[in-house]
Structure 1
């Protein structure tokens, strides 16, 4: 699959996921476990503990996540490194019998983050994609997002959540 096709596929998943997640988030009386996992992720990104994730906090999280994935310290992330790292959704996919679909979602996300299609994600590609995702999640343009914004507006989170929850 070429990079453009992968991006369209992942963004298509994200759009469908966002609609389903928005309906779920808007109507759920209890917070579903995948959403709670994302709330925990957002809380860990929120360095100031003010209940929102600012652009700088998101950027810093991206840098830390990138470095934690880069197990060979090459300043690039290959497929093996990317698939070995998990934000907390893999066990949920396993519990729901969706491990195969989740693995495919991770393939799609990797293809999107690998902007030039060379088989590795560079730190520049990671920063560029993370900035785009944050901007997309920040629908009101106020420079901050919460877990719900990330679940709906970040194609990466929406795609990964879709294979766990929807």
Structure 2
């Protein structure tokens, strides 16, 4: 069999599988839509990338909204009761247990001294670390793609929601 006929055979075998996979990659999931909304809420409308200052400001506003008793620290209960909107997706997919495990892992990672709360300093350090980790090209800005692929919260929740 020559290389042209081998290629033709290979394409014939792959075509039925490749078409559905290609179609899946263009389908927007509820999680992706929510992640896009979150990314859009961080910067202003005039920028296509977000900088560390915008990201930290976003983090501060999230911290305040999670800290429901306003004591300057986030308890495990406050952390797991607050939600961007991913919990509804987890319920819809029957992935509540995996989603709760993801929340617990995030909390444990951000509670650096393991005292059962995340104080402002711990939260700020986690946000700064997550930003640097997501900045794949080290240009000090996060593109939408970098945010969606590299931000720890999005990655962790995406893993929990996937089947």
TM-score by length of 1: 0.79
Retained in 1: the 8 A contact 2:133–2:150? yes
> 2:119 and 2:153 mapped to 1: Cα distance?
17
Q: Deviations for 1:71-106, whole angstroms, at most 9, x for unmatched residues?
A: 111100001110111112111111000011101110
Corresponding residue number in structure 2 for 1:115: 112
Residue of 87, 98, 101 corresponding to 1:104: 101
Structure 2 partner of 1:145: 142
Structure of higher RCO (CA pairs closer than 8 Å, 6+ residues apart): 1
Count of residue pairs brought into register by the alignment: 141
Measured in 2, the distance between the counterparts of 1:59 and 1:117 equals 23
For the residues of structure 2 that align with 1:147 and 1:106, how far apart are their CA atoms? 23
Instruction: Give the CA deviation at 1:61.
Output: 0.5
**Per-residue deviation at 1:48?**
4.6
**Aligned residue runs from structure 1 range 1-166, under 5 A:** 28-166=25-163
> TM-score normalized by structure 2?
0.81
